Every structure is written in C-alpha cells, then in structure tokens.
Chains A and B, each alone.
Chain A
Amino acid sequence: MSDGAPTPPAMPALSVSGLVKRYGERTVVDSLDLDAAQGAVTAVLGPNGAGKTTTLEICEGLRNADLGSIRVLGQSPRDPTLRARVGVMLQEGGVYGSVSAVEALTHAAALYESPQGVSDLVDALGLAEVATVPSRRLSGGQRQRLGVALAIVGRPELVFLDEPTAGLDPQSRRAVWELIASLRDAGVAVVLTTHYLEEAEHLADHVVIMDHGRTLASGHPHDLVSSVASRTLRFTAESGLHLQGLEKRLPHGSTAVEVSPGTYLVTSPDLSEAMGHVSAWCIDLGINPTGISSEQRTLEDVFLDLTGDDLRP
C-alpha cells in the first residue's frame, strides 16, 4: 500500500447477495452471491453464458436486477454519485469509430475533477504508436487496452473490467496485469471477468467460479485449489470401467466419472474412506490402478471439475 492511499473501509467495495436476473423464461443469474474487497483483485470465472457479463452490468447500473441486494461502495448500483467513483470497461469498446485513443481519453478525462494524464495512460498501456489512429482501425488487443485506459482515467475507487486481456499478446497482457496489480496496491478494488485461469491464479486475491448464474466456489485461488483437491481423487486404469459398482460402495454424496479414457475422478466428502473403497474395488475387479492421487495442480482442474466445461475463448 502506497503512502497516502485511503484506509480501506471495513465494508466490501462490492456486495451482491441473492442476485436473480431473468430474460423472459431464461434465468441468467440465479441467487448469486459475490463480494469484492477494497485493495483486492476479484476474478469472476465461468464458461461462456455463465452469467458473468450480466452480473457485472447489473453492478455497473446498466441493467436492473429482478431480485437480490447489491451494494456498490455502499450505494445502490444506479446511484449517480457512483458514476465518478466506479470505472467500467465493457466487453465492447464503446468508442466511436472515427475517434482516436487520444481523443477518446481526452474526452473521458474532462469528465473528472483530477483525471490521469492522457499521455501517461497512453504510454502505460502501450498505445503511443496508435494514439492518433481512428479507433475503428485499432486491433482487437489495442481496443481492449483503450477500454482499460478509459476505465481508470478518472482515478476510480472500484473498477469493473469485463475480459480485460481477451485477445492480448503476451507482452500486452503482462502490461495490463502490472497495471491491475498497481491498482490493487493503491487500494482500488478490481473486479474482472476472465477466460484465462492462469490470469485468475496469478492476479486474483479472490476467485469466484460461476456457471448457470450460480456461484460454485469462491475463495483465494490457493485455498480454492486445495479445498476442492481435498475432496477429489484421481486414478488411472484401463478405460471403460463400469463405475456403478464403485459408486455403490462410496460414502453418500460421492461421484465417480471417467473424465478421459482411462482417467477416473472420484469426488467424495470423505476422501480417506473413498480412497480405501477405490483400492478395494480395484482389487476385487483384478485391476491395477496407477497414480491414485488427491493432488490437483491448477485452478483449471478445479474449474473443470466444477463446471464440467472447457473455457471457450
């Protein structure tokens, strides 16, 4: 935390509970809970259609919730005073095609009392070479970075970034990561959605995994990995085993699936008991399982287990 940064208040920067959003018959967000702290990066992870963008748009005051309580910096999301205090990067840039990065940033900067310097922002996000090019001629990645710059030009207390690094080359992604880390260090609350698990793992203080509009798990990436790992074990054996027999033996609430040919995943509330049953079952069937382990190495494994879904960019 730098000197002079405001002391983070006890209340979370963003607090969402029981959020419900329906489009006609379709429930897009279903009793979602989400908290984001000051001076922390909160990453919302989920497959396409999980409801991430809708959730963010409700918090940004762009859409109304059907049910639930949302407090943004202690206010209701549509409170007009939030418009200066909250920075927003939408998935679609929102910059007129004939307007350049410098013009868009100059316009945005003039809306705030003590904005960032436009040229500083242009440099920080590596847009110097294309600063005067009409935005319609920018690459997808350059447009993304302009979106990030527009979100922070007003020195906000809370920033919503909807897929800030989608389509960025590794160097640009690094630059955006550094910027997000410096926002956190300065006491800004950052809420972002991402398709990159690596990004969530490296950058986030708090990860929320959601699918079908619900929170499936949340916590520090490290805790999340170890807590889910403690309930899951993996083993390899010949493919195509019939698992009904195994599931009958396992403690109540356990599941067994063949996640890829010859790789089996067992989830159980009591892992040590499950481990014993798996071994006994294998002996009974005369199979020799290898690599029985309760270790999961990455957030990606957790994510796949929870959503059963690949992250599709």
Chain B
Amino acid sequence: MIRMLSRSLLAAFLILFISTSLNLFADPKAKQRTATEPSDTVSSDSYMGLTGEELWSNNCLRCHNIRPPTMYGNAQWDVIVHHMRLRANITGQEQRAIVEFLKSSK
C-alpha cells in the first residue's frame, strides 16, 4: 500500500512539476507583454483565448446557474468572486477578468 501511495504522490507532484515548468518557461514574450501593458486591458485581453464574459460563463456554469451581473453590487461581486476563486481554483488573472466583466456589464 505504501508503494501505491508513493506512486500516487509521485504522479501528482510530477504533473504539478511539469505543468509549472511549462507555465514558467513557455512564451516569455507573453509575460513581457503583460508586464508592460496597462492593467485596464487585462479584462479585454483574452486569457487562455477567453474574454471575461466567457470565463465567467465557463467557470460558473461548471457547477451552477449563472446569476446576472445586476444581482449584486460591485463590492459584493469582489467578495463573491474572491470566494469562488478559492472554491473553483481559478487563477488571479481569471478572477480579475471576471470581476471587471461583471462590473462593466451593469
């Protein structure tokens, strides 16, 4: 059983290591571009090829019906998306893009 556990842990960490490596070393120009561009383009830029609206729809619909942007105020959306980021394991970039979409859609 210890062997099985070791293999499971090894596989998990291997996936994480490869994923992180690919993320860190892939497309350095993209990172440079992000660092010099104004932040207000974060939401309008596509993240993983998706806009803030698409990220909102894709991530929320994975579990539940999506609620209209007008249902909550800006400060409430900040808290809700923060909470959902932790629950759904979305990235910080996705979180910002979704929040900006929700605030701008009212």
Co-assembled chains A and B? no
Task: List chain A positions with a Cβ less than 8 A from chain B.
Answer: none
Task: List chain B positions with a Cβ less than 8 A from chain A.
Answer: none
